[in-house]
A and B are shown apart, each in its own frame.
Chain A
């Protein structure tokens, strides 16, 4: 099983949307996918039209041999470990436990036979689950808005990654920095895109264009593949030379090159 963590300590950068969109597309393409929500907001379930549930709380109980994992089928080939407000006390319990940073890695090892890919949607914070997600991950995707503070958040998450690599045997690699809410009309977008390219080079992935349809989809409990599969957040934008650039279709193609 390949594990991909979607993380950025800055909020509102499109982590959950990216995690749900990637997981659902891979599931549609025949991969058996497990999507893990570690954010107390529990928006993975909401985005898929399901109720929030104490999946992370049950995960902590499982780690203490007090119960089973809670895995909910969401779509064909796609199951989720959901989250809700009980994730907060779960993190407090976890903080006092030994080997806490292994919790997700161990859970995914337990489920390795059943899935080809695990996608972990991280919370916008540096907490025990964030570290556990990076320890469990083979690949890391860092979605970022193209503004100064969000780009600074990329540096922070990569510093965490370097620290985890230094302190543990885990070897997650950076799959890419994914610019989201890409609006090519503004100068700041270009300035920050160039900043990213200068800092991260080939790790900068083709961006996801800003798209109202992407914001509307969760209101209908649908992913973008169901709600508006031909929208520009999926198919990208037409560049000056006529080539189509960016969008989740191109992002998924880049991810599949690593699977």
Chain B
């Protein structure tokens, strides 16, 4: 039987204490660093697995436009998500059944690279 470790404190209370300690540390910083710490706290960091060709393409666009790679990734994701929302693009046709117990479907790297090269598209044909 799998043993589950009991938490010594309520998880909601634990998260409040952690957050409070973070705020307290931030308040002790010099004023200029406080603003940076606040910006950092408001920022969401996420890790996604993407093919290196896509990462390289993002870096090239960033260099060309003189902005950060994060900004390019955020903008293109936002645009893609908006298009997905209004039905202009779809993942349909790129998905294949997955063997993973976590997911029903997978999108193979090959398909992502084909989209990058323009050989395939997410565009929905009307």
Give the nearest-CB partner of A242 in chain B: B44
Taken together as a complex, chains A and B put the C-alpha atoms of A184 and B22 apart, in Å, by 12
- Cβ–Cβ < 8 Å partners of B27 in chain A: 187
With A240-B41, A241-B15, A245-B15 given, is the CB distance from A184 to B10 under 8 Å?
A: no
Give the nearest-CB partner of A254 in chain B: B10
Interface residues on A, range: 20 to 34
A230 within 8 A of B: no
Establish whether residues A194 and B19, one from each chain, have CB atoms under 8 Å apart when the complex forms. Answer: no
A193 within 8 A of B: yes
B interface residues, tally (CB under 8 Å): 19
A205 within 8 A of B: yes
Give the nearest-CB partner of A246 in chain B: B12
A96 within 8 A of B: no
Establish whether residues A239 and B9, one from each chain, have CB atoms under 8 Å apart when the complex forms. Answer: no
Identify which of residues 21-37 in chain B touch chain A, using a CB-to-CB cut-off of 8 Å.
21-24, 27
- Cβ–Cβ < 8 Å partners of B9 in chain A: 197, 201-202, 204
B16 within 8 A of A: yes
A77 within 8 A of B: no
Establish whether residues A197 and B13, one from each chain, have CB atoms under 8 Å apart when the complex forms. Answer: yes
Taken together as a complex, chains A and B put the C-alpha atoms of A171 and B6 apart, in Å, by 24
- Cβ–Cβ < 8 Å partners of A189 in chain B: 20
Question: From residue B17, how far is it (CB to closest CB) to chain A in Å?
Answer: 6
With A239-B15, A240-B41, A245-B15 given, is the CB distance from A201 to B20 under 8 Å?
A: no
B8 within 8 A of A: yes
Taken together as a complex, chains A and B put the C-alpha atoms of A248 and B14 apart, in Å, by 18
A64 within 8 A of B: no
- Cβ–Cβ < 8 Å partners of B20 in chain A: 184, 189-190, 193
With A202-B9, A204-B10 given, is the CB distance from A193 to B24 under 8 Å?
A: no
For the complex of A and B, 8 pairs with smallest distance between CB atoms: A190-B20, A206-B12, A240-B19, A245-B12, A239-B19, A204-B13, A201-B8, A239-B15
Identify the B interface with A (CB < 8 A).
6-10, 12-17, 19-24, 27, 41
**Given A202-B10, A204-B10, A240-B22, 10 new contacts (CB under 8 A):** A184-B19, A187-B27, A190-B21, A197-B13, A201-B9, A202-B8, A202-B9, A205-B13, A207-B13, A245-B13
Complex A-B: 15 CB contacts under 8 Å? A184-B16, A190-B21, A190-B23, A190-B24, A193-B17, A205-B10, A206-B12, A206-B16, A239-B15, A239-B16, A239-B19, A240-B22, A245-B13, A245-B15, A254-B10
